[in-house]
Amino acid sequence: MASEKTINDLFLDTFKDIYFAEKQILKALPKMARATQSEDAKAGFLQHRDETQGQIKRLEQVFEQLGKSARGKTCEAIQGIIAEGEEIMEDYKGTTALDAGLISSAQAVEHYEIARYGTLKAWATQLGLKDAIPLLDANLQEEIATDQKLTALGQSSANAKAPTKKAS
């Protein structure tokens, strides 16, 4: 008989998923900062790298609250999203479209995080994990703010610089 699984299990598995993802993102952001040709994007990627370090600390606080050791669970989704970003870095290196591509990759990362933190916050609320909620929400708000900055960055610089082909 399959053992009974609950929202508690879902919460913990998903929590380990985002912990793994954040650690991968921490390694990816400096690479993106090195790859971009835009000073604004570089500063943004590095700032979010520092924020990500703080986010990981918050997640470790939640592990402590749960009485669990901080251990991630492989997230194939973030590995795929980061791999796509690396493909852009290679395929668009030295081109005027590179920064638009990097910003779009970074937004895919933020949207994954927003989905995860939105769900985790809802489940924490449902499970009465009162101390975890503000920590999850702090991470969620940073991801939302980062996503908005990326949208502005894409509109103001990268997209404007990238030459477009006229539709035929």
Cα separation, 73 vs 17, in Å, equals: 5
Out of 36, 55, 105, 157, which residue is the one contacting Fe ion (CB under 5 A)?
Answer: 55
Out of 15, 17, 32, 117, which residue is the one contacting Fe ion (CB under 5 A)?
Answer: 17
Nearer to Fe ion, 22 or 99 (CB): 22
Quote the distance between the C-alpha of residue 12 and its chain's center.
18
Nearer to Fe ion, 51 or 86 (CB): 51
Look at the block and give the residue holding tokens 């390694």.
27
Inter-CA distances, 129 with 74, 122, 147, 148, 159, Å: 24, 10, 27, 29, 42
Residue nearest to Fe ion as judged by C-beta position: 75
Cα separation, 132 vs 130, in Å, equals: 6
The span of 20-28, 29-37, 99-107, 153-161 binding Fe ion (CB under 5 A) equals: 20-28
Nearer to Fe ion, 4 or 113 (CB): 113
Binding site for Fe ion (CB under 5 A): 17, 22, 52, 55, 75, 77, 113, 143
